Structure formats: C-alpha cells, structure tokens
Amino acid sequence: MTFPPGLQQAVAGWLERQNAGAERRAQSAALSATYRQGGSSRSIDLGAYLVARLPATFAAVSRVLAELQQLRPDLAPASLLDVGSGPGTASWAAAGCWPGLQHVTFLDNSPGFLELATELAGHGSAPLRDSQAIRASFEALPDGLSADLVIAAYALAEIPVAKAAAAATGLWRASRSALVLVEPGTPQGFARIRAARVALLDQGAVPVAPCTHALACPIAGDDWCHFSIRLARSRAHMHAKGARVPFEDERFSYLVLARDGEPSRGARILSPPVHGKPGTALRLCTQGSIEPRHIARRDAAAYKLVKKMGWGDLIHPQSDEEKAP
C-alpha cells in the first residue's frame, strides 16, 4: 500500500497551516474511540482525523479496491460517488486504482469535511482537482445522483444498525456497476455489513468480495467477519497516538457488490493461518459454510500455495479443488 505523494504533501501542508496544539493526542484518542464505537464524525477535529484516521482508512479502502480490481479486471469506472467522503480518502484510493476515472463526486453532510476534501483534491489528479462536492445525507441521496462506482467507507457506522439496510439500498440504486462498503472491523461494523448484504442480495446484487457465494452468511454467534491491514505510522501519527511501534493494524469489515457476473467461488481465509511443523491450519468461508482445513506439509503443492497466503486472501476455485486435501 503506497500513500499518494500528492495526498501526503497536501495533508502535511494543511496541518502545518493549522495550530497543532498539545491537545491533538487527546483528540486523536477520542476520535479512534468514536470510530470503534460507531459514533458520529460531525464534530470531530479535522486535524486529528487527518493524522489518526486518514492513513488507516486509505489503507483499508485500498486493500478492498485491490481485491475488486483483481476479481473484476474488466471494471473500468468512469465516475465515482464517494459517499460520506470525509476528506476524500476513498476517492484518492480509487484514483490510484483506475487512471481512466473521469468524474469524482464527494458527498458528505459536513461542510468542514467537504471544504477539506476539495482543498486536498487540488493536489491530486485531474478528476480529483475537478471533483464536485455535494452537501447531503447518504440516507437521502439527491434524486438522479448516480455513478459507475459508489464507495461508502466508514459511513454506515454513523447510523443505527436498524437503518443500515435502507441506507445501503439507496446506495445500491445510485450504483451503475459496483458498490463498495467498508466499515470498522467490529461486531457492530459487521452487523451493518451483514444487514446491507441481506437487503441487496434480495435485489439481485452479485457478491464480489469477501463473500465467495450468494448464500446465507454462515457467520454465527459472537463471531464476526473482519480483516486486517498493516500500515506504517508517520512521526505525526505516532506522536498523536502516543505510540511506540512504527505501525498499526487497521481492522475492517467490507462488502463489494456488482450489477452483473457471478460470485468468485473459492474459499476466503477468515483468520490468520496457523503454521506448525505438521502443516498449516486454515479457517475458511466456502460455499455457505465455515470450514477448518489443515494443509499438511507433505502435500507439497498445496502447502506451497497456502504458505504464501494470509488473512483475507482468496483461494481460487481451481486451487481449492486441485490442491487442498
């Protein structure tokens, strides 16, 4: 995951023009707690957000969009609707994935975030520089608003779980090709993702990732589907969080849906593989079920495959069928 130099410079310049203040560490801690708990971002400190949340959000969205690119290589969105855009983080990630992107729209209910998104976008590629900013709630999108690709990153977290399905339905209507939802990797974040999945599969949406099927979600009980991405911390990030290690792990849940095609099939690795002398133990989501699977070291071909894989990776159908015991 590479942080765009233009975004990095834009953020650094914006922070330099602000009064950092000794209180930023407390603001960053409060902000992180807010996102974990599904609170609103309406009154947050913008500087704290840029330092504490933008890098993690960019990393998670970039990981999800890379998965979409891999599974749908023919997807070439010309337009993007960045819902609950904040400072435009998801738009920067998408612009890096699809050079052919032509139109970007930021939608947020916060004038401060929209102003910040527009300012930062001025340092990006042409579609970012020419972006449109709309102040509106994603729960009631303006009539006629649509785009090839709709991304809502950490947006559903701001509404009750009971409203997630209806909000996702509105986002789906606005999407001409694909919809990407990313939420905190918490039980509450996954609950919103699950509610959106149920509602949109009923409308004919095709799951692209992480789901390998369109069957009922097999996650049960106190379990929840989430993944992790490791990102480097900047010096400002470490100072704001009072951190000593130069990296952090962002936990996230996500859902990618498309208008056409078929589910990816195969098996998704749901937790970190456990490597031992006899082999590797995996926890997989397959076709509607959660399965433990052990790949013995003596099964050289299959072991060589999974040894290179990690939490969140997809074992493609041919590999799953030909290599696994």
215-237: per-residue pLDDT in tens?
A: 999 999 999 999 999 988 666 65
- Of 211, 231, 258, the last residue of a domain is 258
State the distance between the two ends of the chain, measured CA to CA, in whole angstroms.
33
Residues 221 and 298 in one domain: no
Residues 53 and 96 in one domain: yes
pTM (2 decimals)?
0.90
pLDDT for res 317: 75
Write out the two tokens for 250.
């962002």
- Of 225, 258, 291, the last residue of a domain is 258
Cα 44 from Cα 34, distance rounded (Å): 9
Residues 298 and 175 in one domain: no
Task: Give tens-digit pLDDT for 159-207.
Answer: 999 999 999 999 999 999 999 999 999 999 999 999 999 999 999 999 9
Cα 151 from Cα 318, distance rounded (Å): 30
The number of domains in the chain is: 2
Residues 9 and 30 in one domain: yes
pLDDT for res 321: 41
Range of the domain at 116: 5-258
Residues 294 and 194 in one domain: no
Residues 309 and 170 in one domain: no
User: What CATH number is given to the structural domain containing 119?
Assistant: 3.40.50.150
Q: Which residues pair with 294 in a beta bridge?
A: 281
Cα 93 from Cα 61, distance rounded (Å): 7
Residues 175 and 284 in one domain: no
pLDDT for res 240: 55
Q: Which of 318, 93, 71, 305 is nearest to 210 (CA)?
A: 71
